Structure 1
Amino acid sequence: MANANGYGHEWIAMIRDMQDLRAFREQHWEGSFADYLDIVRRNPRVARTAYQRVYDMIMSYGYETYTENREELIRYHFFSDPMGNGEDAVFGLDRPLMELVQILKSAAKGYGTERRVLLLHGPVGSAKSTIVRLLKKGLEAYSATDEGALYTLVWETDEGRMECPMHEEPLRVIPPAFRRKILDELNAHNDSEYRVSIEGDLCPACRYVFRTLMETYDGDWTRVIEHVRVRRLILSEQDRIGIGTFQPKDEKNQDSTELTGDINYRKIAEYGSDSDPRAFNFDGELNIANRGIVEFIELLKLDVAFLYDLLTASQEHKIKPKKFAQTDIDEVIIGHTNEPEYRKLLANEYMEALRDRTVKIDIPYVTRFRDEVKIYERDFNDRTVLGKHIAPHTLEVAAMWAVLTRLEEPKHANLTLMQKLKLYDGRMLPGFTEDTVRELKAQAGQEGMQGISPRYVQDKLSNALVAHGAVGCLNPFVVMRELEEGLKHHSLITNERDRERYAMLLNDVRKEYDEIVKNEVQRAITADESAIQRLAANYIDNVKAYTQREKLRNPFTGRDEEPDERLMRSIEEKIEIPESRKDDFRREIMNYIGALAIEGRRFQWDSNERLRKALELKLFEDQKDSIKLTSLVSSVIDAETQEKIDVVKARLIKNFGYCEICATDVLNYVASIFARGDVMATR
């Protein structure tokens, strides 16, 4: 019943205006078999195989190439989840996804992998299920577009209307003896990358109707197809059309008919035989997934009887429903499993046939820091969650720790695990090159296949948000405490040595966080843009004169003077450039400026990361006495100092994303470091 204001009618009218009735009619098109042949001639892609359709669906969203460590990689936009606004986006797995797409491409071309079971293998929480969910969701959306259109057949007889229970390709209604001629005609003007082909025969239900009609019309096929209607097919997991999902149950309750269908006992009395296809439900997961994709959750936990069904389903593209001959299918079979289950498969000599028909694709944990951060930003994408502000670097410290647990100790004696994380993240470190990163990755074959799952970190972030209700801001200290306390009860950590190692890695994260916040407070104190630009310009002028063996004109005296060595060294020492390497560093800076000029770009004081850090440290050193942070830990603060502290706090809020609470916390924390006698340092 509409309310007094009549909003109900307005809302219904609003929905009416939003409807796309033209698209609905197109998606529910129905016509004769002759009409369908015309459609295939105009657009041969409607008769694609399941693998071809899945591959084209991925490629329809486009891709971009990029170079990482002198290796060209491809990022497929499909895996950013454009269908669902990024809620299932996959980050940091471009290499495994490239391998998956290459396998799908090979299968689409008919090179052999279309006769394999695709097995995503990796640790728990590594996005295996998400990848398959994307494929299923994408295929649904693709089938509703003009580019992804596909069709199925319907029989209209005196007994009524019967849709093909397995949503078959309508071209299968053409008898094998006539197919070659029809295919030659269809492919004569086919400029698609795929040739139209007709693989397999009708399903038992359609075959029964076809045979009955052929007998009725004394073998006149042209009369038979008068009973064939062709309609547009929209794939749907919810409606069990072209997309199936099978999940293992208790072994005592498993039944292979869940895959290949079962007898409909109510109809046996009507049709007189349990071998009459009209008395059979072709509704197993392999039946209903025909023309699309079927997912096997935890594939290797299946009973052996189910795995045997997969052998013929993958290799021969056939299934064996009870009481019927082998039935042709056309679908992508994809499953996922974890390491313990896969080791069991390798150890089982009776499952060699399945191993031989399986293509394994490793899906590891993310090992690049910035991609791990994106995973948590997707779930905690607003800086205010449950009424609490999330302090800067809260998600970053959680991501940093998670990635550290997945990395193998570097074999380089002078490289720490934290430095390895930074190299993987694309940061430059003195003495290390892109070749170093390639070498590190080659040495660590199992990297990312162990460690902490993002799921665990997400749970602890949620716990921290809920448990600390009195605190209006969630900060890194609370999260790190949650992560450490949770290790005591982590169900997947059975090795005490791993537990201790993960706890020790949190200490490394705390040290890194100390450096980050000290640097931010330092930058907030030295946020005088004009002062740092003057310092940078002065340094560059002196370095240019030094490297070109020239003198500088003093603007006050008008005399030519030697470059100011004291100034240059006071800046370079802040980032630990030794006296013996000063010439190399200065030439590096001048070469960098020259390279920017060639590209038509102008050098800015913060263009070079190392120089930016040195300049900020120098300016901080010059100005730190004007604001004594150590006074924050004192109970008495004079008005002048408080005013300066408030300025710094305002800069932290404006420039770095802090709120009033966490800005105060971080200033107090950095002040306590100074009070302990620590010095401001960077790596």
Structure 2
Amino acid sequence: MTSLKTSSGKNIISLIAGRQDLEQFRRKSWVGTFEEYLDLVRETPQVARNAFERVYDMVISYGTTVYDESRGVKRTHFKFFDDPDNGGRDAVFGLDETLESFVNALMSAAKGYGIEKRVLLLHGPVGSSKSTIARLLKRGLERYSTTDAGAVYTHGWVNEAEPTEVHWCPMHEEPLHLVPERFRDDVLKDLNGDADEEQYKVKIVGDLCPYCRFMYTERLKKYGGDWTQVIQDIRVKRITLSEQDRCGIGTFQPKDEKNQDSTELTGDINYRKIAEYGSDSDPRAFNFDGEFNVANRGIIEFIEVLKLDVAFLYDLLGASQEHKVKPKKFAQTDIDEVIIGHTNEPEYRRLQNNEFMEALRDRTVKIDVPYVTRLSDEIKIYEKDYNSGKVKGKHIAPHTIEMAAMWAVLTRLEPPNNASLTLLQKLKLYNGRTLAGFTEENIKEMKEEAISEGLHGISPRYVQDKISNALVANLESKSINPFMVMNELEAGLKHHSLITNEELRAKYRELLGVVKEEYENIVKNEVQRAIAADEDALKRLCANYIDNIKAYTQREKVRNKFTGQTEEPDERMMRSIEEKIDIPESRKDDFRREIMNYIGALMIDGKTFDYKANERLYRALQLKLFEDQKDTIKLTSLVSQVVDKDTQAKIDVVKSRLIRDFGYDDESAGDVLHYVASIFARGDVKRK
């Protein structure tokens, strides 16, 4: 037993050892002189990028896809927001327009067009992916800084007493800040050489932090003003940006007023070191560990930024506009970081109504992050968690996720202005369905008219919680179905903290009724298709129909295969098929000629007619076959307790088709058959 364990441990260690990249580790741990760093900048000027340039390049490095959203409207999809490095766990769906605006803001800031002096404010309802976008950027920048393309460097000071020891800059600042102001233009000319407008050019913006300024001044005195001697005491190293290591990534969130302290943003005095250095204004006795200090060279995220105390907002104004912060007892200090805040609608309205916050409003770029309004994208959000069709040992019946997503999207849509259009039809149009009388231009106009669409409604978090509840609550079932989830969604409305009035609750319950009706239509259709999935029977029915419409259009008679006699085309049979897809009596001749012309064109091309290729005809044949076979299967007998052996065999065939073709398991297939049977039973009662 022991030897087996030892062997297993060795195998694991060998596995890890074989996958290590020691050369990459050495590159990430590079330490050199200031002179070597200048050579590195000349060779790869991108290492001296500012934070906005680095973040923008990081997003673009993952690639883009350009597609036509509608006629004349092209949209760019940024693959970075698919979260490819994390298996799509934090992928953002359905927000390409929002993300395009956001990345355009980053690009503008990277080019120095003014947005670099603004707070990027993600604004939207709770659960609309604001935090996810910020998290993706922070995590992405961490990974990017570990690659050769995203390398970041900082400097430190060799300890005079112990030369092997280096005091690194507490704010991880750009080493080029060590170049004196009066020499910078000449240095930049040398570094940039013959670079043209299209190539990246090195810039030196900002000055040394208080700590490095103190060290620089002391060394300058020591060497009698000889800058070249000072630089000999400098070491440059490559750093990896990391939120956990508090290097280049910062996060700040509001606390209650009693516990808020602005030093959390800009650092505080280290009282234990005052005795050592003799003054509280000595930068060596100061901890430059506020979030603004920590986030230098990268990103700082402000969670619910508009909940901050006014004292914090003043720091934010200077940080965004001037790229400076004011640590206690020290002069304004340069920072280089992307400032991202996020807030919800009520907080943003408060900002707009507060005249004292005008300066902050003027320094923000608001980017709306709405809820998803396209059904297929909303489904993807839930499929991230429930993508296997089986969670916690339970099978998730087909359409369970779809119906929950449909209800969520319906709550976010504004009622259509067109009285002939229902809210459900509007949802389907947004999801790419076609509807007679509505063009792409009409859909575009609808979206433009509905200004606040997606900024209200049910959060995806609520739906995810209720799906989880359904999985846990129905312990006796091996499968959960749409009704289990819809029941949870409805029950939760009673206690939903963000629904403040009964009128809204009633509206959401009414929309659940719309979804249940849609589900009923979907499963009726699937059961009909499963019953009518007898390929041989469909082929026979189709051949019979084609023979009859051929004779009808050519004014001929049909030969009866059983009697051998010629007869008039079977009008009753033809109409029983055509009526299934709403072909009126006045249009039957056109439809029959259309089918014959289609078959004739195929024959000219040497192709064989396949009824499945004509979607309308295929559907009509399925519905006709279902009607013919429904009574032989005695579907309505399922609602009774007694089912004869022959009928049960036919029902089992239908169940196996539901499992094979539509993704049901045995339990959910049986549930659907019972449900559809009860619908038909109700229909029989009504007819009587």
Q: How many angstroms apart in 1 are the aligned matches of 2:679 and 2:472?
A: 29
Alignment of 1:650-661 (within 5 A): 650-661=656-667
TM (norm. structure 2) is 0.92
Aligned-pair distance for 1:430?
2.5
Shifted more, 45-54 versus 298-307: the winner is 45-54
Residues 265 and 279, structure 1, Cα contact 8 Å, conserved in 2? yes
Residues 558 and 569, structure 2, Cα contact 8 Å, conserved in 1? no
* 1:169 equivalent in alignment to 2:174: yes
Change in Cα spacing, 1:165 to 1:393, as seen in structure 2 (3 Å) is: same
Choose which of 184, 187, 191 in structure 1 pairs with 2:189: 184
SS in 1 for 2:683: coil
Shifted more, 502-511 versus 190-199: the winner is 190-199
SS in 2 for 1:447: coil
Which residue of the partner structure matches residue 25 of structure 1?
26
Q: Deviations over 1:202-248 (max 9, x none)?
A: 11111111111111112211111111111111100100110000010
Residues 548 and 558, structure 2, Cα contact 8 Å, conserved in 1? no
Which residue of the partner structure matches residue 415 of structure 2?
409
Alignment of 1:21-60 (within 5 A): 21-60=22-61
Which residue of the partner structure matches residue 67 of structure 1?
68
Q: Deviations over 1:366-388 (max 9, x none)?
A: 11111111111111122221211
Shifted more, 496-505 versus 614-623: the winner is 614-623
Residues 552 and 560, structure 1, Cα contact 8 Å, conserved in 2? no
Which residue of the partner structure matches residue 671 of structure 2?
665
Q: How many angstroms apart in 2 are the aligned matches of 1:431 and 1:611?
A: 23
Q: How many angstroms apart in 1 are the aligned matches of 2:15 and 2:591?
A: 66
Which residue of the partner structure matches residue 260 of structure 1?
266
Cα RMSD of the aligned pairs, angstroms, is 3.0
Which residue of the partner structure matches residue 144 of structure 2?
142
SS in 2 for 1:527: coil
Residues 551 and 561, structure 1, Cα contact 8 Å, conserved in 2? no
Q: Deviations over 1:2-35 (max 9, x none)?
A: 7764133332233222221111111111111111
Alignment: residue pair count: 677
Change in Cα spacing, 1:582 to 1:433, as seen in structure 2 (3 Å) is: farther
Aligned-pair distance for 1:188?
1.9
Aligned-pair distance for 1:634?
2.3
Change in Cα spacing, 1:387 to 1:158, as seen in structure 2 (3 Å) is: same
* 1:93 equivalent in alignment to 2:99: no
Change in Cα spacing, 1:190 to 1:40, as seen in structure 2 (3 Å) is: farther
Q: How many angstroms apart in 2 are the aligned matches of 1:419 and 1:591?
A: 33
Q: How many angstroms apart in 2 are the aligned matches of 1:553 and 1:32?
A: 98
SS in 1 for 2:219: helix
Which residue of the partner structure matches residue 14 of structure 1?
15
SS in 2 for 1:411: coil
Change in Cα spacing, 1:2 to 1:57, as seen in structure 2 (3 Å) is: farther
Letter in 2 for 1:29: W
Q: How many angstroms apart in 2 are the aligned matches of 1:154 and 1:592?
A: 79
Which residue of the partner structure matches residue 303 of structure 2?
297
Alignment of 1:178-217 (within 5 A): 178-190=183-195, 193-217=199-223
Q: How many angstroms apart in 2 are the aligned matches of 1:559 and 1:189?
A: 94
Which residue of the partner structure matches residue 373 of structure 1?
379
Change in Cα spacing, 1:589 to 1:506, as seen in structure 2 (3 Å) is: farther
SS in 2 for 1:229: strand
Q: How many angstroms apart in 1 are the aligned matches of 2:672 and 2:508?
A: 25
Change in Cα spacing, 1:318 to 1:553, as seen in structure 2 (3 Å) is: farther
Which residue of the partner structure matches residue 244 of structure 2?
238
Shifted more, 385-394 versus 452-461: the winner is 385-394
Alignment of 1:74-89 (within 5 A): 74-89=76-91
Unaligned runs of 5+ in 1: none
Letter in 1 for 2:143: A
* 1:518 equivalent in alignment to 2:519: no
* 1:620 equivalent in alignment to 2:626: yes
Aligned-pair distance for 1:466?
0.9
Q: How many angstroms apart in 2 are the aligned matches of 1:526 and 1:186?
A: 75
Change in Cα spacing, 1:47 to 1:582, as seen in structure 2 (3 Å) is: farther
Aligned-pair distance for 1:605?
4.5
Change in Cα spacing, 1:507 to 1:125, as seen in structure 2 (3 Å) is: same
> Share of identical aligned residues, percent?
67
Q: How many angstroms apart in 2 are the aligned matches of 1:169 and 1:588?
A: 73
Q: How many angstroms apart in 1 are the aligned matches of 2:612 and 2:96?
A: 31
Residues 290 and 331, structure 1, Cα contact 8 Å, conserved in 2? yes
Choose which of 258, 277, 284 in structure 2 pairs with 1:278: 284
Aligned-pair distance for 1:320?
0.7
SS in 2 for 1:119: strand
Q: Deviations over 1:413-447 (max 9, x none)?
A: 11111111111111112332212211221221101
* 1:430 equivalent in alignment to 2:436: yes
Residues 521 and 667, structure 1, Cα contact 8 Å, conserved in 2? yes
Q: How many angstroms apart in 2 are the aligned matches of 1:421 and 1:544?
A: 41
* 1:509 equivalent in alignment to 2:515: yes
Shifted more, 157-166 versus 472-481: the winner is 157-166
Q: How many angstroms apart in 1 are the aligned matches of 2:225 and 2:628?
A: 99
Q: How many angstroms apart in 2 are the aligned matches of 1:142 and 1:123?
A: 30
TM (norm. structure 1) is 0.93
Residues 558 and 568, structure 2, Cα contact 8 Å, conserved in 1? no
Alignment of 1:428-507 (within 5 A): 428-507=434-513
Letter in 2 for 1:435: E
Shifted more, 378-387 versus 452-461: the winner is 378-387
